[in-house]
Structure 1
Amino acid sequence: MSPLENLHLLTPLDAAALALLWLAFFATGWRIEHPGRAPSVTVLMSQYRRAWMAEFLQRDNRIFDSQILGSLRQGTSFFASTCLLAIGGVLALLGNTEPLQGVAEHIAAVEMPAALWQIKLLPVTLLLSLAFLKFVWAHRVFGYCAVMMAAVPQDAAHPEAAPRALRAGELNIRAAWNFNRGLRAMYFALAALAWLLGAAAMIAATLFVAWLLWSREFSSVPRDILLKPKDEG
């Protein structure tokens, strides 16, 4: 029997926790990418990525830039591989929920049917799968950016130099945004994992993750550092 055929096993609190998880996931992502007057770290970094390409255009030796881009691609590759391993682990648990039942009985002294454990693992699987797809796409777009950067003429006065550097910067930004979306999906996958301990645990974990992401984007030391040059000017 499919786990989806056992949705009647969920309580109203479970449904509310699941709705909060997805609402927080999409709302947090939208707010970070559309911050309004108070820019997020993601938006501020987009400005610095454009500034990077402006400096890249004037540099004679561009090995430094290729090394930075290579390290960015390595990061996306690492997280994509991590997600793939995590998805494999979750799928293994979907096929055999006995280890989870043993842990739950030990911690909370509760018994649940196997189908309910499978239902509670589905959001984790979906979020990890989404994160994997975002990381893979970010890796590819960073590759497009590398090719575009290589196509920028060495002579900054060349008519195609500035337009190509500008497009390379935009590709860099799109890759970074997809990378950040993948990270957010991983954060919320951890929050979804708390559902195994109950609906209240997932609500608390979702609120904590949403607060953590918001604070790092809008109220963190790195954000203050990114804003400082403008304030000093």
Structure 2
Amino acid sequence: MDILLKPFTLLPALDWVAMLLFFGSWVAYALFAKRRAAVQPTVLATTNRWRWHWMLQATKRENRIVDSAVLQSLSASPQFFASTTILIIGGLLAVLGTTDKASELVREIPFAARTSVLVFDLKLVLLTGIFVHAFFRFTWSLRQYSFGAILVAAIPDTKQIATDEERVAFADRAGRVMGLAAETFNDGLRAYYLSFAVVGWFFSPWAFILGTLGVLAVLYRREFQSEVLGALRQGLT
């Protein structure tokens, strides 16, 4: 029994509370945002409706160079973040190899928590895991945008689409793929935001807790109450 409980003694109780709050809030907010979008439109849900209109209009255009250019622009964002994330992960792994010097440097910062090297390593591992998760989300988003590009390239000629039902069916299918790509990219960005809360843990568990709550407040405001949301909702039926 003592062996099973020994890992829990590595951190003070407040640190465990901060970690549970962090992961619990992350999962809870993701579920809340997904379900709340059915009642109160979010930026993601609203832009998904514009993506549907975009795909519907693409079926009516003979020249789809503009659509290809927009798709290339959209896929550039997850590609940039995926490349950046790899650099961040490499930097964090390099710090893990020199934790003695890094932990000494953190101790010299005013108000920073005095912890052992093992606990410092744990914080770095958590931060690295978050960016690994973000990397997988960004790369999956990039692949989904490539699937969307294939769908756009496969749109039949405007003269070959006989009915409006066929246009709507294609818009539903292609718009769904584009929406999933955007949703996956949003998950990666959310991980980036929450990583700043983990940085607060190097100072104190209270900073970790306050950082988690602060990041969630920012995410909620931007997804549900931002000015850009009101602008995007204009013109939608």
Deviation at 1:19, TM superposition (A): 0.8
Corresponding residue SS for 1:58: coil
Match of 2:139 in 1: 136
Say whether 1:85 aligns with 2:91: no
Q: Is residue 186 of structure 1 aligned with residue 164 of structure 2?
A: no
The C-alpha deviation readout for 1:176-205, integer Å capped at 9, x for no partner, is: 100000100111112112111110011011
Could you say if the C-alpha distance between residues 149 and 109 of structure 1 is closer, same or farther in structure 2, counting changes exceeding 3 Å?
Answer: closer
Answer yes or no: is 1:127 the counterpart of 2:133: no
Rounded to whole Å, the distance in 2 between the matches of 1:16 and 1:40 is 30
The CA RMSD measured in Å over matched residues stands at 1.9
Contact 2:18–2:205 (CA under 8 A) maintained in structure 1 = yes
Is contact 1:138–1:178 with CA below 8 Å preserved after alignment? yes
The whole-number CA distance in structure 2 between the counterparts of 1:184 and 1:70 is 22
Contact 2:18 2:208 in 1 (8 A): yes
Q: Verify the 8 A CA contact 2:51 2:175 in the aligned structure 1.
A: yes
Unaligned segments of structure 1, at least 5 residues: none
Using the TM superposition, give the Cα deviation of residue 131 of structure 1 relative to its aligned residue in structure 2, in angstroms.
0.5
Instruction: Describe how 1:4-43 pairs up with structure 2 within 5 A.
Output: 7-35=8-36, 36-43=38-45
Residues 22 and 110 (structure 1), Cα distance of their counterparts in 2 relative to 1, 3 Å cut: closer
- CA change 1:60–1:212 in 2 (3 A) is same
Deviation at 1:156, TM superposition (A): 5.4
**Distance 1:103-1:156 versus aligned 2 partners, 3 A rule:** farther
User: What is the letter of the counterpart of residue 151 of structure 1?
Assistant: A
CA contact (8 A) 1:32 1:42 kept: no
Any idea what SS the aligned residue of 1:78 has?
Answer: helix
Q: Aligned partners of 2:35 and 2:99: how far apart in 1? A: 40
Judge which range, 11-20 or 111-120, deviates more: 111-120
**Residues 39/200 of structure 1: CA separation in 2 closer, same or farther (3 Å cut):** same
- 1:106 Cα deviation (Å)? 1.5
Question: Does the residue aligned with 2:156 lie in a helix, a strand or coil?
Answer: coil
Q: Say if 1:38 and 1:218, in contact at 8 Å, map to a contact too.
A: yes
TM-aligned CA deviation for residue 147 of structure 1? 0.5
SS in 1 for 2:139: helix
Distance apart, 1:134 and its partner CA: 0.4
**Alpha carbons of structure 1 residues 116 and 67: separation in structure 2 relative to 1, 3 Å:** same
> Which residue identity lines up with residue 76 of structure 1 in the other structure?
P
The runs of 5 or more residues in structure 2 that have no matched partner are 1-5
Counterpart code for 2:58: F
SS in 1 for 2:158: coil
- TM-score, normalised by the number of residues in structure 2: 0.89
1:104 to 106, 112, 123: 106
Cα gap change, 1:109 to 1:87, in 2 (>3 Å): closer
Identity level (%): 33
One-letter identity of the residue aligned with 2:105: V
Matching of residue 222 in structure 1 with residue 225 in structure 2: no
Q: What is the letter of the counterpart of residue 128 of structure 2? A: T
Change (3 A) 1:63 1:13: same
Q: Is the 8 A contact 2:112 2:204 kept in 1?
A: no
1:155 and 1:99 map into 2 onto residues whose CA distance is 65
Length-normalised TM-score, structure 1: 0.91
Cα shift readout 1:49-108 (whole Å, capped 9, x = no counterpart): 111101111112211111010011111100001111111111112221134323322123
Report the counterpart of residue 51 of structure 1 in structure 2: 53
Q: What amino acid sits opposite 2:22 in the alignment? A: L
SS in 2 for 1:229: coil
